[in-house]
Each structure stands twice: as C-alpha cells, then as structure tokens.
C-alpha cells in the first residue's frame, strides 16, 4: 500500500481529516498488507461523481471446510474516518452475487458495524473480521452455473428456501408468513384488521406494549378470537416474522418537542434491538410519530440493512393522490408524494405509464405537470391520517412485501445519496417493495420549489436527530 504516490497525496489533501485518514490506512497496511489503496471516481446513486480513495483486495471466507477469496472494494468518503466506508463486493466474471441479509443485489455490503460506525471505536481493521464472519454465515458469492452443471452452493441456497408441508414442497416466497404488530390502541387494531383483510398470513401476532401510550385492544382480540391472531405481551412472540409493524408511541408531558420525541426513542430502545434479534430477516415497518425520525431511530437501533427498515411515510397520501388523478382528473401516470411527512411534502409524477413493463422512473420537474399535481394536491386537503386509513396503507405495503409484488410505494427510507442529499436522513421516497425490502427509484431533477422543500426538511430533521439520545 503506497501512500506517498502523487495521485494518492493529491486526493488525500482534499480529505477533511487527512492525518487521521492516513493513520487508519497505515493500520490497514500493517494488518492487511495485501490490500491496495488507489484513487478512482465514485458515482453516487444520484449520478453525481467524486474522486475518492478506495481499498481493494480479497478476504478469505471459509465455507463447508473450504476457503474462498472474495474480492471487495472499500470507498473512503472525504469525511473518513468519521464516516464509514462504502463497501462493495466485486465479483469476477465467473461469480454471481447471492442477495441476502448483508449484501444487496448490486453488491453493496450492509453490516451492523457500518450502521453503528463510531470513530475511533470503529475502524477498517475491525470491520474486515466482521465482514468475514458474516460472509461465512451466509456466503454472498457463488460460482456461475455452466450448462447442466449446477453449483452446489446455488442448490443449497435453493433447498434452504424450500419448506415441506402436507401437500408436498412449497417455495418460501409463495407463503404468507408471519406478521407481528407491536403497539395497541386504535392504530394497532386498525393495522391488525386491515392486514387480515388484505394479506394472506399464516399467523398474525399482536403485542400490546405496556409502556406505550397507545396501548389497548388486546382484550377485545382475545374475547372475539380472530382467526390466525395471537395476542401476547412478550416480544419473544414476534420471533421469525417476515414483517414487523411498530405502532407504539410513548408521548410524555415534556414541554419541548425534542424531549417529547425522546420518550419515543427511549421506548424504541426497549423494543427494536430485541425484535431485530428475534427476526433478523424481517422488514420493519414503522408508523410511530414522527415517522421520519422514528424510522431513522429504528434503523440505527436495529443494525439491519436500510432496505429492511421503512416507515409508512407518504404512502397514504400517494395512494390518495393517484386516486384523484385517475378518477377525477383522468390522468393515468403514477404519482407519488415525497419528502418529510409535514407541510414540506410535495408530489412528483412518473414518466412511464402504469401498464409498462419498464422500471418506474420519476419525471424531471416540469412546468407542464406542476399545475396538475397542485390541483390534485388541493383536492386532498383536509383528508387527515386517521387510524383506519393508516392501517389500510400499512396493509397495502405489507402485502407488497409478503407477495413480492414489486409495487412502488412512497415509504420512509434512508435518503442519503438520493437527489444529491449528503446527510444521513430518512424521508419518503418512491421505493419498489418486495420480499427483500425496498429499492429506491433513481433520483430526478426537481423543480426549484420542491428542491427547496426537500433541503429544508433535511436540515430540520438532521437538527432534531442531533438532539436525541439514540
């Protein structure tokens, strides 16, 4: 690892914490001398580019008594080491990525150590052993099959996704699976009844959290014995869920807004880590308020990939908007409500018809579509987010996950890197929802008014997050 090269020194000079970055790179060189550092241009998801340092090499992963070399890349942002590296698997032409808990379809690596990165406690030297350990639990690469010769690891992956029942063999994705709703009251009950009506579930667990200010309803569910519903006061009953809906709130009488929200954060600390441990492959669906903040908190506390932690966000508004556009204004293109769940939210339209087989795309900000969206938005005024309506929205998202529907929902998700957003913040964005969680649509050029609203929300949410003890 040659750090004195002119190109590396030139890029290093632009790093905010150059000396600390050099110290970290020297540690990597001592422990992993085969790793190489170089410079290259990184392209973010919003198509912006930046010259950065990257570490490349292979890590040894043992599986079933054999050792495999997995090629990796670690891109170091200019705020490194205070921000974690962007970690990618870089398969060779003979390898194929197996999407799983720690690696998405594009090879992006998601590890607990990345989500809880806290320099100087966190380092690349400490991250690589964690990566190796997680990959040995669930190898994210396998050899491509050629002709009739199937790679044994691919066959193992397929077999592990099968379940036997009385009728023979079923693929797991075809099953309804288990859903848990945590938090009582009107919203919790609305989610339970809506999910039962909308979704095919094998079991629905309702957990009424005693500390929540929205508790209640569990007794009535026990009295009337709804099919497939189990009532519990123990989080362990949620184990093995495919979707976990969290509706719990713990509003206090504190005077400042930040201290009121902190009560919810404290409540989540007793819920989210346990739930994530019991259902490590679940999709967490957050409805607690404020949903943008609480989804961010849930992601931080869970250690799950950001694709597995979403909020109900602006999905309800988006469905209402589409109904108005289709029925009242005879417009057939999909539209979504984006941004913070506040007065700063705004609408965008797709440039692809709903019957198209292409991946939906956000139409760039246009003066031709704005009057139409503004008119539809005006017709939505005074439609509040009542418990039953939010429950229906939650059931719609849950159904897309359970059935791998690949429907585009506007859900609260990690917005960093979208539309030029550099801050770690959660906002409602159009995401394709399926069994593996959320996949954001590519960002688009927004109009000046919409862009200003987005930036204002990013600033206010970041400020509030900085005041919270996660």
pLDDT at 5: 85
Res. 165: pLDDT tops 60: no
> How do residues 322-360 score in pLDDT, each as one tens digit?
888 877 666 767 889 999 998 898 888 877 655 555 666
**Domain that residue 432 falls in:** 176-469
Q: What angle do CA 48, 50, 51 make, to 5 degrees?
A: 160
Res. 145: pLDDT tops 60: no
pLDDT at 209: 79
Res. 255: pLDDT tops 80: no
Task: State whether 345 and 389 are in the same domain.
Answer: yes
Q: Report residue 296: phi and psi, to 5°.
A: -60, -45
Query: What's the chain's average pLDDT?
Result: 83
Task: State whether 241 and 355 are in the same domain.
Answer: yes
Residue 357 lies in a domain: yes
- Over range 103-116, report the average pLDDT: 84
**What gap in Å lies between CA 310 and CA 292, rounded to an integer?**
9
Task: State whether 138 and 261 are in the same domain.
Answer: no
**What gap in Å lies between CA 26 and CA 142, rounded to an integer?**
32
SS3 at position 227: coil
Res. 373: pLDDT tops 60: yes
Which is nearest to 393 in space by CA: 462, 337, 460? 337
- Over range 11-26, report the average pLDDT: 90
CB 433 within 8 A of CB 411: yes
- We report the CATH number of the domain holding residue 137 as 3.10.110.10
Res. 270: pLDDT tops 80: yes
CB 189 within 8 A of CB 197: no
Task: State whether 331 and 203 are in the same domain.
Answer: yes
Which is nearest to 61 in space by CA: 70, 74, 52? 70
Residue 154 lies in a domain: no
- pTM as predicted: 0.63
Residue 165 lies in a domain: no
pLDDT at 356: 56
- Would you list the DSSP string of 80-125? TTSS--EEEE---TTEEE---SSB-TT-BB--HHHHT--TTT--HH
> How do residues 40-56 score in pLDDT, each as one tens digit?
998 876 677 889 999 99
DSSP state, 404?
T
Task: State whether 194 and 106 are in the same domain.
Answer: no
Residue 164 lies in a domain: no
Going by pLDDT thresholds of 50, 70 and 90, the confidence category of residue 166 is very low
**What gap in Å lies between CA 93 and CA 326, rounded to an integer?**
46
Question: In the block, which residue shows the tokens 């859903």?
Answer: 179
Going by pLDDT thresholds of 50, 70 and 90, the confidence category of residue 114 is confident
- Over range 405-426, report the average pLDDT: 90
> What is the number of structural domains in the chain?
2
**What gap in Å lies between CA 320 and CA 327, rounded to an integer?**
11
């Amino acid at each position: 690892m040659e750090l004195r090269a002119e190109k590396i020194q030139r890029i290093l000079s632009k790093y905010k914490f150059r000396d600390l970055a050099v110290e970290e790179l020297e540690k990597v060189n001592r422990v992993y001398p085969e790793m190489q550092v170089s410079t290259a241009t990184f392209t973010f998801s919003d198509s912006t580019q930046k010259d950065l340092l990257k570490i490349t090499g292979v890590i040894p992963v043992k599986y079933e008594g054999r050792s495999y070399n997995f090629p990796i890349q670690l891109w170091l942002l200019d705020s490194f080491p205070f921000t974690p590296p962007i970690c990618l698997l870089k398969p060779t032409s003979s390898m194929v990525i197996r999407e799983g808990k720690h690696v998405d379809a594009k090879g992006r690596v998601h590890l607990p150590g990345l989500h809880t990165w806290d320099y100087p406690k966190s380092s690349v030297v400490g991250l690589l052993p964690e990566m190796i350990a997680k990959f040995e639990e669930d190898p994210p690469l396998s050899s491509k099959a050629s002709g009739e010769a199937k790679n044994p690891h691919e066959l193992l992956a397929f077999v592990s996704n099968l379940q036997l029942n009385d009728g023979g063999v079923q693929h797991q994705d075809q099953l309804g699976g288990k859903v848990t709703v945590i938090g009582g009251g009107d919203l919790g009950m609305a989610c339970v009844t809506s999910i039962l009506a909308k979704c095919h579930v094998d079991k629905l667990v309702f957990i009424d959290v005693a500390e929540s200010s929205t508790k209640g309803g569990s007794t009535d569910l026990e009295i009337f014995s709804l099919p497939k519903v189990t009532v519990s006061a123990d989080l362990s009953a949620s184990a093995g869920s495919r979707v976990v809906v969290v509706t719990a709130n713990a509003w206090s009488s504190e005077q400042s807004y930040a201290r009121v929200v902190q009560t919810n954060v404290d409540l989540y600390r007793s819920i989210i880590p346990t739930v994530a441990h019991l259902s490590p492959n679940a999709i967490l669906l957050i409805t607690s308020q404020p949903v943008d903040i609480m989804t961010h908190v849930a992601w931080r506390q869970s250690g799950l990939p950001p694709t597995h932690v979403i909020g109900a966000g602006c999905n309800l508004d988006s469905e209402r908007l589409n109904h108005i556009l289709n029925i009242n204004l005879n417009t057939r293109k999909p539209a979504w409500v984006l941004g913070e769940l506040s007065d700063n939210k705004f609408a965008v339209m797709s440039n692809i018809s709903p019957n198209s087989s292409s991946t939906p795309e956000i139409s760039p900000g246009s003066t031709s579509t704005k009057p139409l969206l503004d008119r539809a938005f005006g017709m939505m005024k005074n439609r509040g987010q009542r418990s039953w309506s939010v429950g229906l929205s939650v059931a719609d998202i849950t159904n897309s996950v359970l059935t791998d529907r690949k429907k585009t929902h506007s859900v609260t998700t990690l917005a960093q890197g979208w539309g030029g957003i550099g801050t770690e913040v959660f906002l409602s964005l159009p995401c394709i929802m399926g069994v593996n969680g959320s996949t954001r649509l590519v960002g688009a050029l927004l109009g000046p008014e919409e862009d200003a609203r987005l930036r204002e929300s990013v600033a206010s949410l970041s400020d509030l997050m900085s005041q919270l003890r996660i």
